[in-house]
Amino acid sequence: MAGMGTFNLSSSSCFRPSSLSFSPRPSVFPMKGFPGMPLRSRFPRIFAFTSNDIKVGSNIEVDGAPWRVIEFLHVKPGKGAAFVRTKMRNYVTGNTVEKTFRAGGTINEANIVKETKQYTYKDGSQFVFMDLTSYEEIRLNESDVGDKTKWLKEGMDCNLLFWNGKVIDFDLPITVKLTIVDVDPGLRGDTAQGGSKPATLDTGAVVNVPLFVNVGDDILVDTRTGQYMSRA
């Protein structure tokens, strides 16, 4: 099963409400109020489900913070109660922890809302995203964007994730079209053998491309892996 794996957890990692501590980044921006603004920031909802519902990609709330499940494994030992092992990433701090839940135990599902916004421009150290319907602007700091800036291009639609009226993360398109601005033309070699060379893209990212690719070519890149896919 995808996302399932085995990893060691100490007995001290069993679920206890006080077992984790959080330090939310100060750069997470609260939403501004606008007429007709969606009710996501006014009436946050919490949904209860059980640990048996956990799967890769589940959004859960633990100790008042939102987490995304990135691995899980249902375990039924020969003796003792069944449990669920998980590896989770904190949306706010970016920390990853391993945690165990009792099978069938109630867990709060984080009410994370996904909305499409367009990246419009960079203003100093902030990245500005706009809702093309309401023209609402949302600004993220460089620390919020992180390595994703390598693939971020003006006019690109991204999915911003909201929790309690704050942006906690955003998703890039899986495939982006970027232009090669610098590559060594002297690296030719035998293209039939699948050789590659580093190329600099218009966003500043560097990827390995086939030997036949040249400056000015548009290429498709997988933002999840940072790998060249094909010429556009």
183 versus 22: the higher-pLDDT residue is 183
Contacts of 213 (CB under 8 A, 6+ apart): 180, 183, 197, 199, 219, 228, 231
pLDDT digits 0-9 by tens, 10-59? 444 443 443 444 344 444 444 444 444 444 444 445 456 888 899 999 99
**pLDDT band at residue 122 under the 50/70/90 scheme:** very high
Residue-level pLDDT at 195: 84
Q: Which one, of 159, 158, 156, 144, lies nearest residue 114 by Cα?
A: 159
Torsion 56-58-59-65 (CA) sign: negative
Residue 184 pLDDT: 82
Please state the rounded mean pLDDT for residues 118-135: 95
Q: What mean pLDDT do residues 118-128 have?
A: 95
Domains of the chain: 11-109 (2.30.30.30), 112-171 (2.40.50.140), 175-231 (2.40.50.140)
The pLDDT of residue 135 is: 93
User: Cα torsion for 66, 68, 71, 73, to the nearest 10°?
Assistant: 50
pLDDT tops 70 at residue 117:
yes
Averaged pLDDT, 156-171: 93
pLDDT band at residue 191 under the 50/70/90 scheme: low
Amino acid at 137: E
- The DSSP element (H or E) to which 218 belongs, if any, is strand 218-222
The reported pLDDT for the residue numbered 187 is 56
pLDDT at 13: 41
Calculate mean pLDDT across residues 129-142: 94
Mean pLDDT computed over 92-115? 92
Please give the C-alpha separations between residue 94 and each of 24, 38, 67, 102, 146, in angstroms, as whole numbers: 10, 26, 9, 24, 11
Over its C-alpha atoms, the chain yields an Rg (Å, rounded) of: 22
87 within 8 A of 58, measured Cβ to Cβ: no
Q: Averaged over 180-201, what is the pLDDT?
A: 76
- Give pLDDT, residue 143: 87
Note the Cα 106 to chain centre separation in Å: 25
pLDDT in tens, 192-226: 556 889 999 999 999 999 999 999 999 999 999 99
> CB within 8 A of 160, min separation 6: which ones?
114, 115, 116, 117, 129, 138, 167, 169, 170
Contact 86, 54 (CB under 8 A): yes
Q: pTM of the entire structure?
A: 0.67
Closest by CA to 100, choosing from 203, 12, 198, 221, is 12
Q: Which of 53, 189, 153, 50 is nearest to 106 (CA)?
A: 50
Per-residue pLDDT at 27: 44
pLDDT-based confidence at residue 80 (cuts at 50, 70, 90): confident
> H or E stretch including 158?
strand 157-163
Tokens of 6: 């085995």
